[in-house]
Amino acid sequence: MSDMELERKESLSRAEAAKRLATFAEALAAGEKVKLDLGGTSLTLHVADDVRMEFEVEVTGDEIEVEMELKWSTTPPQAARRRA
């Protein structure tokens, strides 16, 4: 069970989806904070230097689903090494 979970589903044009992905990618590359705008609400995440990424494509009938999942630890690297 997670400490916090936020899920938002919406329909976008291809151009709008690309713009959101590009904005997220630019923020991710620029520094340790990523601000997500969620239609009237925003969420700021602190991102670790090391990120794990999972990429999945699923085709079912006439529907294609693409998932990109990013994961990182909130534990500082030194603390993680001490526990190992």
Q: How far apart are CA 68 and CA 25, in angstroms?
A: 12
Residue 76 banded pLDDT, cuts 50, 70, 90: confident
Domain count, the chain: 1
Alpha-carbon dihedral of residues 46, 50, 54, 55, nearest 10 degrees? 90
Residue 3 banded pLDDT, cuts 50, 70, 90: confident
Query: Residues of the chain with pLDDT > 70: what percent?
Result: 92
Q: How far apart are CA 9 and CA 57, in angstroms?
A: 18
Per-residue pLDDT tens digits for 36-70? 887 778 889 999 999 999 999 999 999 999 999 99
**Host domain of residue 49:** 14-83
Q: Determine, yes or no, domain membership for 4.
A: no
pTM score, two decimals? 0.74
Per-residue pLDDT tens digits for 22-36? 988 999 999 888 988
Q: Determine, yes or no, domain membership for 72.
A: yes
Q: Determine, yes or no, domain membership for 59.
A: yes
